[in-house]
Structure 1
Amino acid sequence: MVGNGEVFRLNSPSTATTATATLLFTSDIHGHIFPTDYRGPGERNLGLAKLATVIRAERERDPSLLLLDNGDLIQGTPFMYHYAKYDRQGEHPAARALNFLRYDAAVPGNHEFNYGLDLFRQVAADSDCPWLSANIVGRDGEPAFGKPYLVRETEEGVRIAILGLTTHYVPNWEHPDNITGLAFEDALSSARRWVAHIRATEKPDAVVVCYHGGFERDLETGEETEPQTGENQGFAMCRELEGVDVLLTGHQHRTLAGELHGVTIAQPGSAGQAIAKVRIEFERDEAGNWSVAAKRAEIIEADDATPADPELLAMFAEDERKTQEWLDQPIGKAEGNMAIPDPFAARLADHAFTEFVNRVQMETTGAAVSCAAIFTDEARGFGERITMRDIVSNYIYPNTLKVLLLSGRDIKAGLEKSACYFMLEEGDGDGRQVRICPAYLAPKPQHFNYDMWEGIEYELDISRPEGQRVVKLNQGGKPLDPDGAYEVVMNSYRSGGGGNFDMFRGKPVVREVPTDMTEIMADYISARKTIRATCDGNWKVTY
């Protein structure tokens, strides 16, 4: 194994017999610097500007604390989208924020690659702190973004190693052009090698793993909570890795703080709604060797009493002004009702907004069949006047489009997978009620993994067992041929099997459109000036 980490010493070692180290940790900020969700007016309890106030207060208590970010920083808001697609002037906003807040290190998440490798390399180059990921390697087999870890030495002489890791599932979601020349090694295996290397060569007093990934099992029972794809390996890391004191996680947007198999764990949610704090206490023996005496993790949430940092807001004021101006640009008008007052109801039967998205995908690619999702419960569809804010609020991911060649059997399997989104439970005197399956709500909401289709006619009977719920599947009034070949357009995430749609993974790609779907929708509406709500009722859910 070639290469090592960066070593920092704050001051000359002291003769103290006890020491304390503080870690502050953000993850899955998803571009939220300002305390806004960009959907409407009003301040929200989120964003780096609010967390900056927390960071300042914690630094007053411990000026030598370590500040770390765990990835998915540069994508997720119109603010970051506008820079990536229309601005590109000066230092990247994410790097400017890292530098202003004096982060010690950052770890790339899966969404760091959404806008292409050149942009991420710009972010890394603009950042004063290193980006750590031991398991993302280049063609030479070495860590692709420089140092895989760093070692920080406190004024008492305590050595703390920070190892960065990224979920190796990235190639299953990302467009190959965005990760050219990179390989994603198994995160657990890589951690095992690097932790052993760090322990042997750096002789740290504590090892912290900063992993952009989450937990694949229930933290209390150990039961599997998701298919064992390797996307999340946090439970296995706590159980199997030797020499790890703290595991900082992300990716799942959970809020966690505790201990698992003797390893202190933390995960601070998403969008800058909270920050994790870990304190490690050390004792020194008569021989002068330090050992961990105690560890504790906690979550500090941003709330109404947390003011946004005025200096950080001022730094990005012009960027925000340009973003808001762009968001309020009128794109066109809608005739008819395309609003989504109830996202759950819009997933139970064909809806004009979902049909619109599917129609755009079909007309753009020429495919006869399409599937799309209502990504979040915050999606509200279109009103009469459509702006860029409406588009990016509903279509929040930078997906492109791919047309796959699927069999009728593949399509049915995809529908059966989507049908697992629903479950039935006994109601209060009104018979059974359809509900969302808990697996789609925890550990994080996964409404984006329920697809609705156009170009076929189908019916899902939720009263039937999973895997047997597609009770009707036609095209043009005739049953779909299980062995027939059909061109189906879907977003780039789903085409790679994202969301455990394994039936789509590796299928022939007939053609693809590399343009961001939000741009496609904006251009589609701008060219027509007025779009009309249609809903052919080609599918429904029964129970």
Structure 2
Amino acid sequence: MLATSDLHMHLSGYDYHADAPCVQKGLCLTATLVRRAREEVAGTILLDNGDFLHGSPLGDYVAARQDGGPHPMMQAMAHLGYDAVNLGNHEFSMGIPLLAAALAEARFPVLSANTCPRDGSALGPLIAPWALIERDLPDQHGQAQRVRLGVIGVLPPDTALWDRQAIGGEVQMQPMAQTVAQQVPRLRAAGADVVVVLAHCGIGSAQAGSGPDAAGTQDAGLQDAGQQIAAIDGVDAVILGHRHMVFPAASLAPSPEVDPVGGTLHGKPAVMPGFFGSHLGVIDIDLIRAAGAWRVRSHKAEARAIASRDGEGRPLGLVAPDDGLTRLIQPAHEAVRLWARRPVGRTPQAIHSYFAMITDCPSVQIVNQAQAQYVAARLDGGPLAHLPVLSATAPFKAGGFGGPENYTLIPAGDILLRHAADLYIHPNTIMALLVTGAELRRWLEYSARGYRQIVPGGADQPLLGPDLPCFVYDTISGLTYEVDLSQPPHGQGGQRIRNLCWQGQPLDPAQQFVLATNSFRGSGNGGFSPAEPARVVLEEQTANRDILIAHIGRALNGAAAPERGAPAWRFSPLPGTSVTFDTSPLAAACLADAPHLALTPLARTEEGFLRLRLDL
């Protein structure tokens, strides 16, 4: 069984944001690994685990075009001979009509067992809970034996909440593990000899989904049910996704239920094949006939990479693009390159995200400015027009799992459409909430939870924990505050937010504000508490990126980069204390852009990052 996941419309080995070839992403490159694997074993099964339709400039271009041509991803999957695909949460981000139009082109089963379309929905005839895939496989004597593989697909049930505007009540979604437990007996009764679950979720814990965490938010179990699913009787293998991680991986911590080296959950093989086509998940199983039925005798799981890094941490391609798929998607590839080069504004200075995790950053400020101005204009003249409008957003590209290339850089001069997509890479829509000063403080405390607790007087202590992506580190424009790293994080009794002020005065816990944000955050994603319906004062199917583009082109009159003044937030001073953090090697030439920070370059890491020292 071969698996991809979280392709996010990355077909070419090309970075459209940078307008340059890339060896670390693209189904054209993964396809070469697919071809090689098919040469190893007869009767190979090829599956995808969701989030394949949206998440790149190519996806945006296909969603915006009016020509009604074939969908490039559906063409690519048919060309490669996918046997079944699972829906991910982002399949719903652009609405049911676009999803239904794409799936109508599918030449393979499309699965989502826990998605229940309402009567008459266009999606109803296009998806199924499971599929049976038959193969005639040679046994040890070379005799063909008929084997039936049952494939079940599930996705996070909170998708119905995260994308509720786009979904518009067309579907309901049920818990993943519960759904799998219900479907396995039906699949076995239909003749499945082996059952694999395409679970668009992370590994989670054995007790995932048991209740709220220390922050009062629903824990990650609803979207990280891998262990629960693997423990279900009758499930033989699990393919994971959603979290953009790789499994098996020796860097993960083992547990009695999880073997990160052997690639098992509860003793059953499991893979998570990265993102953007970075890896191909491979599960090999040997079957033995006993008591008239096939059962798994042994198994092996691995994640095969399309790229690695050389001795200096630079990307090193391991495969060449598949020629046939490259030719097939070439027209779409060239069209999106031209489309992404369209100017939308200008900036007198470069905008980058190299220091977005350690200071108030122009790449974040400009998004906050756009959101706040849009929401203020929409509320103007209404009953809430008297309230101050603040804005919350996080850096979207600031290293992390995406590596040292995962940063935004917009040179001074024309801001192109691809640059705007680089500043705001996700298909979120605008949302605004009615909040109090006390709620803003809690929001910031939770946003700062990923920083490690720092011992005063210590030298070169790692700043960031490894577990959280950069897009959960929200900053709120319109406020000034400090983050005290000597305090333990939220959830461990710490209070890190110091000197929180609005207009130079201490923030009144009872004062009301309107907070501009996005549908992802306002719906509770990233571990934040979902907003109560009564507190949602604006919710539209207007993309935050479109708001940003309009802001760049109109509101700033061609001077898109925010003026560099005193930062709105900073770390509290800890004399004699230093921390280290990793950033892009290109940051070495940009230290003057953060003169208020005491930064010292140290060395390149094995992963290719530049490690900097920050004196607090």
Aligned length: 505
The match for 2:239 is 248
Separation of aligned partners in 2, 1:53 and 1:87:
32
For residue 381 of structure 1, report the CA deviation from its aligned partner: 4.5
Distance 1:468 1:43, change over 3 A: closer
**1:120 alignment partner, SS class:** helix
Give the deviation of 1:85 after TM superposition: 1.7
CA RMSD of aligned residues (A): 2.5
**CA displacement at 1:87 relative to structure 2:** 4.4
The corresponding residue for 2:331 is 318
**1:119 alignment partner in structure 2:** 98
Superposition TM-score, scaled by structure 2 size: 0.77
Residue 534 of structure 1 pairs with residue 563 of structure 2: yes
How many Å apart are 1:500 and its aligned residue? 1.0
Give the equivalent residue in structure 1 for 2:598. Answer: none
Write the mapping of 1:70-469 to structure 2, written as runs, cut at 5 A. Answer: 70-87=49-66, 89-139=68-118, 144=124, 145-155=126-136, 156-199=145-188, 201-217=189-205, 227-239=219-231, 241-257=232-248, 258-285=263-290, 288-303=292-307, 304-340=317-353, 342=354, 345-366=355-376, 368-377=389-398, 378-385=406-413, 386-425=415-454, 431=459, 433=461, 435-440=463-468, 446-466=469-489, 467-469=494-496
Instruction: Note closer, same or farther for the CA distance 1:487–1:415 as it changes in structure 2 (3 Å cut).
Output: same
Contact 1:425 1:433 in 2 (8 A): yes
Q: Which structure 1 segments of 5+ residues have no match?
A: 1-22, 441-445
Structure of greater relative contact order (alpha carbons < 8 Å, 6+ residues apart): 1
Q: 8 Å contact 1:124–1:131 — kept in the other structure?
A: yes
**So what's the TM-score if we normalise by structure 1?**
0.87
Query: Structure 1 residues 530 and 476, CA, compared in 2 at 3 Å: closer, same or farther?
Result: closer
- Report the residue type matching 1:31 in the other structure: M
SS at match of 1:530: coil
1:84-125, CA deviations, whole angstroms, 9 ceiling, x for partnerless residues?
123453121111111111111100001101111111111211
Go from structure 1 to structure 2 and tell me whether the alpha carbon gap of 1:279 and 1:353 turns closer, same or farther (over 3 Å shift): closer
1: CA distance, partners of 2:423 / 2:363: 10
- Match of 2:526, SS state, is coil
Q: CA deviation at 1:141?
A: 12
* 1:160 shift after superposition: 1.6
Q: Give the conservation status (yes or no) of the 8 Å contact 1:459–1:541.
A: yes
In 2, Cα distance between equivalents of 1:114 and 1:99: 23
In the other structure, the counterpart of 1:443 is none
Call closer, same or farther: CA 1:60–1:339 in 2, change over 3 Å. closer
Q: Which runs of 5+ in 2 are unaligned?
A: 137-144, 208-212, 249-262, 308-316, 377-387, 399-405, 575-616
Q: Secondary structure at 2:467's aligned position in 1?
A: helix
Distance 1:489 1:456 in 2: 13
- Give me the whole-angstrom Cα distance separating, in 2, the residues matched to 1:169 and 1:394: 26
Residues 204 and 221, structure 2, Cα contact 8 Å, conserved in 1: no
The alpha-carbon deviation at position 421 of structure 1 amounts to 2.3
Q: Distance in 2 between matches of 1:84 and 1:202?
A: 38
TM superposition shift of 1:272 = 0.3
| CA–CA separation in structure 1 for the residues paired with 2:115 and 2:569 | 43
- Percent identity, aligned pairs only, is 29
**Which 4+ runs in 1 deviate beyond 6 A?**
none
Q: Which amino acid aligns with 2:327?
A: A
CA separation of 1:337 and 1:309: change in aligned 2, threshold 3 A: closer
The separation in 2 between residues aligned to 1:532 and 1:425, in whole angstroms, is 33
Report the AA paired with residue 225 of structure 2.
Q
Alpha carbons 2:453, 2:487 under 8 Å: kept: no
| More moved, 310-319 vs 126-135 | 310-319
Cα distance in 2, alignment partners of residues 398 and 351 from structure 1: 22
Q: Given the superposition, is the C-alpha separation of residues 183 and 73 from structure 1 closer, same or farther in structure 2, using an over 3 Å criterion?
A: same
- Corresponding residue for residue 523 of structure 2: 496
Measure, in 1, the Cα distance between the counterparts of 2:459 and 2:331: 56
SS at match of 1:405: strand
Q: Per-residue deviation at 1:73? A: 0.4
Amino acid at match of 2:298: A
Find the partner of 1:486 among 506, 509, 513: 513
What is the CA-CA distance between 1:245 and the residue it aligns to? Answer: 0.7
Structure 1 match to 2:543: 516
Cα shift readout 1:457-513 (whole Å, capped 9, x = no counterpart): 222212123241112222122222222221110111111121111164545111234
- Cα deviations across residues 503-542 of structure 1 (Å, max 9, x unaligned)? 6454511123432222222222223233343144222222
